[in-house]
Amino acid sequence: MTPPSLRRAAALLAMLAVPAAALAQAAVEGRVELPKGLHAPVMNKRYGIVAFGGVLSPFPPVAVVYLEGAFPRPAAPPTAQMVQKDLMFLPWLLPVQVGTRVEFPNLDDTYHNIFSYSPAKRFDLGRYRSDERPIPSVLFDVPGLVTLHCDIHEHMRALILVVDTPHFVVSDPQGRYRLDGLPAGRYVLKAWLDSKTTLERPVLTQSGSTLHADFP
């Protein structure tokens, strides 16, 4: 739930994704102008994902910044976890690289039934409890936004952003981000803000230097 942990996870994934040959690595940092005036309903504040006019946004607002480009797929599928605890998803916004297997451990005493009807990934894990082994998991192999629901708890909502890159990070609540271990070259840097808004800008990364890139 805390951005630092997200960032650590992202950094770990990034490190795994970087080929060992690229020794001199580039970095990008900057700040994303996060949407203001987002008044989440008190009831929804704890859910993390709020909806306004059919737009799903994380609350409090954060951005997912990722570098798009043709990167080699990882040999072994990476894994991630989307935990259900206290009738909530944790984290509520999870960026993963295409090909990641996400586990959905149930840490509550009750049943959960996680499913998604999103085009990027349709699945239905069925009803299961915390003692379900193996932990139900889904392989996300198509980039896109996946909305998670629980069939039993209609209020539970989470997003998995499947991106086709190993280089992605979740900003802090102020919108600051830093991507390390990037290859040098011309890429498109994208900032995902909500289900309808993704900002992008071309970047030129250079080995050993840190590029500063703000959105917008």
The least CB distance from residue 118 to another protein, in Å, is: 5
The least CB distance from residue 51 to another protein, in Å, is: 3
Closer residue to another protein (CB): 145 or 170: 145
> Residue 158 and residue 57: Cα distance in Å, rounded?
10
> Residue 67 and residue 120: Cα distance in Å, rounded?
19
* Residue 119 within binding range of another protein, rule CB under 8 A: yes
The least CB distance from residue 158 to another protein, in Å, is: 13
* Residue 150 within binding range of another protein, rule CB under 8 A: yes
Residues 36-65 that bind another protein (CB under 8 A): 51-56
Q: Pick left, alpha or beta for residue 152 (phi over 0 → left; psi -120 to 50 → alpha; otherwise beta).
A: alpha
The least CB distance from residue 84 to another protein, in Å, is: 14
* Residue 154 within binding range of another protein, rule CB under 8 A: yes
How does 152-180 read in b/e, with b if 16+ C-beta sit within 10 Å?
ebeebbbbbbbbbbbbbbbbbeebebbbb
The least CB distance from residue 190 to another protein, in Å, is: 22
Q: Which of 155, 173, 188, 196 binds another protein (CB under 8 A)?
A: 155
> Residue 94 and residue 53: Cα distance in Å, rounded?
22
Q: Which of 129, 182, 134 is nearest to 10 (CA)?
A: 182
Span of 63-71, 98-106, 116-124, 181-189 interacting with another protein by CB under 8 A: 116-124
* Residue 118 within binding range of another protein, rule CB under 8 A: yes
Closer residue to another protein (CB): 97 or 116: 116
Give the helix/strand (H/E) hosting 118.
strand 112-118
The least CB distance from residue 117 to another protein, in Å, is: 4
List helix spans (H) across 34-118: 42-45
Q: Which of 26, 91, 140, 149 binds another protein (CB under 8 A)?
A: 149
> Residue 6 and residue 61: Cα distance in Å, rounded?
14
Contact residues for another protein, defined by CB under 8 A: 51-56, 115-119, 122, 147, 149-151, 153-155
